[in-house]
Amino acid sequence: MQLRVGSRWRSAVDETQVVVIRAPEGEVEVTCGGYSLVAVDAEITPGLSIAEGHGGGTVLGKRYIDPETGVELLCSKAGAGALFVNGEKLQLKSAKPLPASD
C-alpha cells in the first residue's frame, strides 16, 4: 500500500485506527492483527480474528515507528492487534529525555 502523510487507516479485525505521521517513499505492507489495514471508511469483513502472534494491542495517543522504512503512525483509537510493517513489529516511540536540571 502507498501511505500518505495525514491519511487515516483502520484494522480489519479490531478497533485500532491510525493516522500516518511519516510515510516512506515506496510501498509497504502495514498490518494490524495479521491483516492489512484498510481505509477508515472501508467496509470490514465480519468474522475475522487476530492472527496467531499478532496480538499485543495498540495504545491510544502513542506513536509507532519503524526506523528501517521510516514509517510513523499515531494511534487514534486503541485495539487488541499489534501493528507490523513488512512483517516486522512496529516499535513504540519513546519520548526524548529532558536535560537534567541539577
Q: Based on C-alpha coordinates, what's the Rg of the chain?
A: 14
Distance CA 102, CA 95 (A): 20
Half-sphere exposure of 3 (CA within 13 A, CB side): 27
pTM, 2 dp: 0.89
* Residue among 26, 25, 30 at smallest CA distance from 12: 30
* pLDDT (tens place) for every residue of the chain, 102 residues total: 899 999 999 999 999 999 999 999 889 999 999 999 999 999 888 889 999 999 999 999 999 999 999 999 999 999 999 999 999 999 999 888 888 876
